[in-house]
Amino acid sequence: MKYALTMPPIGPFSDPNTLSDLAVDAEKAGWDGFFIWDHNIYFSPHEPKVPMHPFVDPWIALAAIAVKTSRVKLGPMITSLARRRPWKVARETVSLDLLSHGRLIMGVGLGAPADLDFGVFGEETDDKLRARKMDEGLAILDGLWSGEPFSFHGEFYNMSEVQFLPKPVQAPRIPVWIGGGWNTPAAARRGAKWDGFFPQKWRHLLSPDEWRDIIDRVNQSRTSDTPIDFIQSGRTPGENRTQAVEIVAPFVEMGLTWWVEHIDPWRYGLDWSDYVTPDAAEKMKERVLQGPPRE
């Protein structure tokens, strides 16, 4: 199993200098991946009048991280592809893959809650429509990443034949992880088509039994025998390595390929509507420095 962390780049970490320095610390502490959230804005969906958190552009931040690190995988976790022009994302991701010497993992999902990155800006919030748009965007990314002449004609996007060069470092493509609801059949089917499935049960740890059902659903839709990553997320106590290893052990035994640690301010007592305090930011950094729950 490999070990990564994911964090919202808010508060002091909305400065790409501070965030990329933390990524360097994470690499030194033994983490295998450093992933960040992708939003245009972020605030409590239950208290929309609360001032919005400072937030960094993910692609600029990931470029800084790529330059300062040499080993950790990196990427957005996740990108709401339906709100982005897929050909622009293709250029950004290939450039980032080249800059990082092939360390990019592309996390893609619908994005939640929909009102933050879609509704606030007058864009479509319907989940089914966004899902169809996301699928077309993924097909376009895959085609443009190939470096071969490619055209596309769909419900939302139409492209004349073009050829995008250079190609990514990674072949046959930049790995795509699909994020989605842990008990959502459509998300599992989509995950089966790509390179990894990152099921979400927000603020709850998926159980081994739930994972067995998830893996069965994904495997039923698989049409390839190429390896696929299964990614578990959760929170472990960095100050108690024995307990942390015990939390992760059942998923290691199952053969899951990644553990992704949530490094967020809310695990340290803040409410969604609270700005990140210096104390919470320091605790987030401390958990990074404590390293992964590796035995």
Q: What domains can you pick out in the chain, each with its CATH number?
A: 2-290 (3.20.20.30)
Residue range 26-43: average pLDDT? 91
Question: Contact, 193 vs 221, CB < 8 A?
Answer: yes
pLDDT at residue 46 tops 70: no
pLDDT at 225: 87
3-state helix, strand, coil split of the chain in percent (to 5) is: 40, 20, 40
Rounded percentage of the chain residues whose pLDDT exceeds 70: 97
**What pTM value is reported for the model?**
0.94
Per-residue pLDDT tens over the stretch 117-145: 777 777 888 989 999 999 999 999 999 99
Residues 256 and 171: their CA atoms lie apart, in Å, by: 23
Per-residue pLDDT tens over the stretch 99-112: 999 999 999 998 87
Residue range 176-190: average pLDDT? 92
Per-residue pLDDT tens over the stretch 194-247: 999 999 987 789 999 999 999 999 999 998 889 999 999 999 999 999 999 999
pLDDT at 158: 97
Where are any strands of DSSP class E within the chain?
2-7, 33-36, 73-76, 79-80, 106-109, 150-153, 158-162, 176-181, 196-200, 229-234, 258-262
pLDDT at 40: 79
Kindly state the tokens that stand for 80. 């709401």
Question: Contact, 206 vs 199, CB < 8 A?
Answer: yes
Contacts of 25 (CB under 8 A, 6+ apart): 285, 288, 289
Residues 68 and 100: their CA atoms lie apart, in Å, by: 9
- Cα–Cα distances in Å, from 59 out to 74, 84, 151, 246? 11, 12, 26, 35
